[in-house]
Amino acid sequence: MMRMGKGRNLKVEILERDESLQAFHVKGYSGKEYLVTVYDDMIRCECPDYYYRHGPEGSYLCKHCWAVLHTIINDMGGGDRIPPIPKNQGAPWTPELLKKVKRLFKEGHSYTEIAEEMGRSRQSIIYAVNYDPDMSKRVRSRWSRWSRVEKQLLHSLVRKGFTYKEISATFQYISLWNPHVKPRTIPSIRSYMGKYHIRTRRRSYANTTPKTRHMKPWSPDEEEKLLRMYREGELISTIADELQRSKGSVRARLKRFKMGENDVMQIKRSRKEAARLQGTNTL
């Protein structure tokens, strides 16, 4: 029995041995059994993973071959010097392997069991199970930062009234000859526009700033009304609505008069105390 992975075992049963041929029967976690044959100058396995790895793009042994090699070295007394079985991390997924992963998952095998069976990482198996061919064809540019050139191009296209689809097509075309522009997808553009919605629209359209925001200076009448309402115990939000100013603008103006919200609370407490005393005297 060959130990492999996190407490999992691969059963390796020797069927036949001779001077030129050694045959091993290997059973994986999926329940299927494969025949591994060791020759003088090569080792061959009948599993689909072996044929992919030994094709034009493959160069590594499958996990069954590694299990057999471990068994042979253990018989030779060198088991303590055996390196760990390498995992198939970073190798591309073929349609056949994707179908196999999805089939094992539908049969009830866990991600960990499939990962050890396929010689892959658990995260790689999760990716394969949820693999969508249509999504894989998209350009994954959502993790890259938007350059200054891209932002300027986006704002220019927004001003001209381009749709998301037209903007994406423009980015993909310009990226062919401009290295500072990436082929942005529609989800990437929509995500950027949503995250920086106010900032983008303010730069693109002059009339999209909030209506409650005024850049004009404070007039003496407004300052007088501000102080009067503040001393009467009105809330900052009420004063801001009355003067059609932002709450931050009201607070900043009150700081010039060295008045804070604690003063408002003190004024309100004083008014409540006066009302209570007046009620007591009436009784």
Per-residue pLDDT reduced to its tens digit, 241-261: 888 888 888 888 888 776 555
Confidence class for position 21, pLDDT limits 50, 70, 90: low
> What's the whole-number mean pLDDT along residues 19-32?
69
Report whether pLDDT(177) > 80. no
DSSP string, the chain: -EEETTTEEEEEEEEEE-SS-EEEEEE-TTS-EEEEEE-SS-EEE-SHHHHHHTSTT--S--HHHHHHHHHHHHHTT-GGGPPPPPP--SPPPPHHHHHHHHHHHHTT--HHHHHHHHT--HHHHHHHHT--HHHHTS---TTSPPPHHHHHHHHHHHHTT--HHHHHHHHHHHTTT-TT-----HHHHHHHHHHTHHHHHHHH-TT-S-TT---SPPPHHHHHHHHHHHHTT--HHHHHHHHT--HHHHHHHHHHTT--HHHHHHHHHHHHHHHHHHHHHH-
Report whether pLDDT(5) > 50. no
Report whether pLDDT(131) > 50. yes
Number of residues in the chain: 283
- Cα–Cα distances (Å) from 116 to 127, 235, 239, in that order, read 15, 64, 66
In angstroms and rounded to an integer, the radius of gyration of the C-alpha atoms of the chain is: 36
Q: Cβ distance 24 to 10 under 8 Å?
A: no
> What's the whole-number mean pLDDT along residues 142-152?
73
Give the per-residue pLDDT at 282.
55
Confidence class for position 41, pLDDT limits 50, 70, 90: low
Overall pTM surpassing 0.85 (yes/no): no
Report whether pLDDT(65) > 60. yes
Confidence class for position 59, pLDDT limits 50, 70, 90: very low
Confidence class for position 39, pLDDT limits 50, 70, 90: low
Report whether pLDDT(151) > 70. yes
* Separation of alpha carbons 86 and 109, rounded Å: 22
Report for 77-91, 120-134, 201-215: range of highest mean pLDDT: 120-134
Higher pLDDT, 236 or 123: 236
> What's the whole-number mean pLDDT along residues 25-49?
71
Give the per-residue pLDDT at 185.
79
